[in-house]
Amino acid sequence: MKKALENIRSFFSALGARFKRKPKEQKAVAAVNEPITTPRGQAAQSAQGTKSKKVDRFSVISWVVTLLLVTTLLGGTVFYKNSHPTATTPIKQPTSIPTSEPSAGTQAQVGAPVMATSGGGFSSISRKLQLKTNIPERERYESISYRVTRGDAMLSIAEQFKLKSETLLYVNAQLEDNPHNLKPGMELTIPPVDGLYYTWKDGDTFDSVAEEFGTTADAIINFPGNRVDLTDPKIEAGSIVMIPGGTRELRNWAADLQTMGRGANTGTGGPNVTNACGGGPVASGYGWPADNHALSGNPYGPGHLGIDITAPEGSNVYAAGSGVVTMAQGGWNYGYGNVVQIDHGNGDVTVYAHLSSYIVGVCQFVGQGTVIGYSGNTGNSFGAHLHFEIRRGGSNINPYDIVQ
């Protein structure tokens, strides 16, 4: 800044010298006409005083102009700095060459302090590095189609679309309320939310339909996919309407299985049933019916009244508790395939389905852990596993909560 001020002052000094008025040349005159002169010292002093006045005036003006220019430049610089923040480019940090692929879930660290060339440092904005752009999922109001592939199960498809497995049974009539009817190549309708579709009839009201399917009128009216005019809510007869949260009874195919009665107050039949097989052992507890304790596909639920246990083809199937065999039958059996049923004499019955073969007969006594057959893929099934049910007092319960 000091050097700039000196340059400006020099410029104005040179400019002033250039335009300074030069003294007129005096012509030689005769002695008689020569003006009266004053003493040399006095004349010199008078001339210097006049020159000093001229120099002081010019210096003041030049300094004033200089200060005005400097002030203007400084003010402009400050204004520009405030209105246009300086973007600092961080220095690229050296990176090491990775020796292996990054593991899943590992994120590159961004946001470490970056050192400038002057030695100062600043922190960059901290953000996580992502290899792909995350596009938020938009809410879906229409159904879509899904083609079943080998290895799919009702549970895995439902989880993929964040639905309950029974919802898929409600809206896909070709499954006939049986998750074991799922086959590769089948086209499923995937609704946008849990519930079911209903064809509106003459005389239907929002309240009557909501009561029939266990939901609320507001849920039907406010669902955007139904396109109901909120100022005048009504639906034309014949329109297909989504019933959010709606449910209905699913057919219990297990009830069609014909079994022998063990006796009064047992798991099969009722208090008036004849004692077809006679007495036998009574179970006091239940164990796992297979060597593997993991589920292979469908869990217990409204559309699946048992659990599917991982069991490779031909592996042992055990009696979960002591009792009497009241069914040992091969064939289709409503999709159960080769099936064995054991009455445990305490109001409970266990069912073992999709067996490749069985080695027990009707009215045979068995103890807990007795091998009754071998796992397979018979009936309505693709992929070997063991379908296992527990019925208590004629109604199915979740086996996963019972076996130990």
pLDDT given for residue 100 in this prediction: 46
Least confident of 16-30, 77-91, 290-304, 361-375: 16-30
Bridge partner residues of 387 (DSSP)? 308, 353
pTM confidence score: 0.51
What's the whole-number average pLDDT of the chain? 78
pLDDT band at 107 (very low <50, low <70, confident <90, very high): very low
User: Reduced to 3 states, what is the DSSP secondary structure of residue 324?
Assistant: strand
| pLDDT the model gives residue 159 | 87
Amino acid, res. 332: W
In tens, the pLDDT along 369-398 reads 999 999 999 887 777 899 999 988 778 888
Q: Which amino acid is at 173?
A: A
The model's pLDDT over 311-338, given as tens digits with 9 standing for 90+, comes to 999 999 999 999 999 889 998 887 889 9
113 close to 90: Cβ distance less than 8 angstroms = no
Coil, strand, or helix at residue 337? coil
d(CA 37, CA 242): 124
Q: What is the pLDDT of residue 124?
A: 56
* Of 222 and 28, the one with more pLDDT: 222
Tell the residue number behind the tokens 């592996």, with chain if given. 315
pLDDT band at 244 (very low <50, low <70, confident <90, very high): very high
pLDDT at 73: 83
pLDDT, tens digit (0-9, with 9 covering 90-100), for 58-93: 777 878 888 888 888 888 787 777 776 655 555 555
Residue among 286, 373, 287 at smallest CA distance from 328:
373
| 112-125: average pLDDT | 51
> Would you say 16 and 62 are in contact if contact means Cβ atoms under 8 Å apart?
yes
Question: Could you tell me if 235 and 226 are in contact, meaning their C-beta atoms sit under 8 angstroms apart?
Answer: yes
Identify the structural domains of the chain with CATH numbers, from first to last. Answer: 144-244 (3.10.350.10), 253-401 (2.70.70.10)
Q: Which residue has the higher pLDDT, 78 or 102?
A: 78
- Which tokens sit at 307? 């659990």
User: Model confidence at 266, in pLDDT bands (50, 70, 90)?
Assistant: low
Cβ pair 242, 209 in contact under 8 A:
no
Give Cβ neighbours of residue 277 (< 8 Å, ≥ 6 apart).
Answer: 260, 261, 262, 263, 324, 326, 343, 362, 363
pLDDT digits 0-9 by tens, 158-169: 889 999 888 999
| pLDDT in the model for residue 104 | 46
Percent over 70 (pLDDT), the chain: 67
Structure confidence at residue 24 as a pLDDT band (50, 70, 90): low
Lowest mean pLDDT of 56-70, 222-236, 255-269, 315-329, name the range: 255-269
Is residue 354 within 8 A of residue 336, CB to CB? The reply is yes
| 372 neighbors 329 (Cβ within 8 angstroms) | no
